[in-house]
């Protein structure tokens, strides 16, 4: 990937897309292509193919898609499945037809079994039942992984690269309480409770599930690293994680400290926990030379500073 290569970041205003734009510019990549959803509907195969034919991107980071936390996944499984399948099908086919050099696709740790040995290796995919509350989204992401593998096998290429980052957090996340992931949702809940003087916050579940969080800038750097080292990659998906997990109770305590909430935290155990633990084994990608660099408290402070500046 040369500094003047034409690079399309699909979903450039989202959590990972915005971080990728920032990191690509910082590394000297000057020819970036972006489109808003209003400018290009990525579920429309015809429009996507015309876009690829006209713009001729050489490299694609496919960060666009529909995602959310446990509540949103459980409420809109068909919407999550349809939107992500449609985007993947349109973009993958256009990328192959127009012979781009490489595309990075992003799956999610929810592709792995709900009950799995830890940390989760790439080969654990499809070895057990996935978490029911996220099955629509997970099924679409599993299909994306197999699409990457299938296109590469059929066309004898390494064009498609599949990465599986664990729970990302950072600036430019969405903090909608009905759709956000646990990290950004808790930031907003504690921030608003502090500002309104609430004395108690009730959170979903028991707080015992453990999650691995990775700062979005680290995933952006991992993505560019993968693109730069595409020739060294196998036709498999690669886990991307920080190597450390925390219980949701521990995460809540960290956010309470950073936000400055002074009230009590209670847990509603009648509401679902989701998978008991999701820690990835990222040793295959680490062996290539990449490392996560951002400690969770440092990333949390950066995220909360961004939220404070943009919460209105």
Catalytic residues: 137
- Longest Cα pair distance anywhere in the chain, in angstroms? 61
Q: Let me know: does 41 contact 49? Beta carbons within 8 Å.
A: no
Report whether 145 contacts 106 (CB < 8 A). Answer: no
Please give the Cα distance from 57 to 52 (Å, whole number).
6
* Pair of tokens at residue 25: 């510019």
Distance CA 283, CA 39 (A): 39
Please answer whether residues 128 and 145 qualify as being in contact, where contact means their C-beta atoms are separated by less than 8 angstroms: no
Report how far residue 285's alpha carbon sits from residue 226's, in angstroms, rounded to the nearest whole number: 9
Distances in Å between the Cα of 212 and the Cα atoms of 112, 232, 235 are 14, 26, 25
In this structure, how many other beta carbons lie within 10 angstroms of the beta carbon of residue 269?
A: 12
Residue with tokens 């989202």: 14
Give the whole-angstrom CA distance, residue 233 versus residue 16. 22
In Å, what is the CA distance from 188 to each residue of 14, 170, 180, 182, 192?
A: 17, 13, 10, 10, 6
DSSP 297: H
| Phi, psi values for residue 288, rounded to 5° | -80, -15
């Amino acid at each position: 990937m040369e500094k003047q290569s034409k690079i399309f970041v699909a979903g450039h205003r989202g959590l990972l897309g915005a971080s990728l734009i920032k990191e690509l510019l910082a590394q000297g990549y000057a020819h970036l292509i972006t489109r808003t959803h209003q400018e290009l509907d990525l579920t429309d195969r015809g429009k996507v193919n015309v876009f690829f034919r006209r713009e001729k991107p050489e490299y694609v980071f496919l960060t666009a898609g529909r995602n959310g936390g446990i509540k949103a996944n459980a409420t809109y499984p068909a919407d999550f499945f349809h939107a992500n399948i449609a985007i993947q099908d349109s973009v993958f086919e256009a990328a192959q037809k127009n012979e781009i050099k490489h595309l990075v696709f992003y799956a999610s740790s929810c592709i792995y079994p709900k009950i799995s040995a830890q940390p989760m290796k790439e080969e654990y995919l499809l070895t057990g039942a996935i978490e029911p509350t996220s099955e629509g989204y997970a099924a679409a992401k599993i299909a994306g992984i197999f699409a990457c593998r299938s296109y590469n096998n059929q066309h004898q290429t390494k064009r498609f690269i599949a990465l599986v980052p664990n729970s990302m957090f950072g600036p430019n996340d969405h903090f909608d309480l009905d759709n956000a992931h646990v990290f950004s949702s808790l930031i907003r809940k504690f921030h608003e409770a502090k500002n309104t003087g609430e004395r108690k916050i009730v959170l979903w579940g028991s707080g015992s599930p453990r999650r691995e969080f990775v700062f979005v800038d680290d995933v952006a750097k991992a993505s560019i690293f993968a693109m730069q080292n595409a020739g060294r990659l196998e036709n498999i998906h690669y886990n991307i994680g920080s190597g450390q997990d925390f219980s949701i109770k521990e995460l809540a305590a960290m956010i309470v400290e950073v936000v400055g909430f002074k009230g009590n935290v209670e847990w509603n155990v009648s509401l679902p926990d989701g998978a008991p633990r999701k820690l990835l084994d990222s040793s295959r990608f680490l062996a290539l030379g990449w490392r996560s660099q951002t400690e969770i408290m440092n990333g949390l402070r950066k995220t909360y500073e961004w939220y404070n500046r943009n919460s209105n």
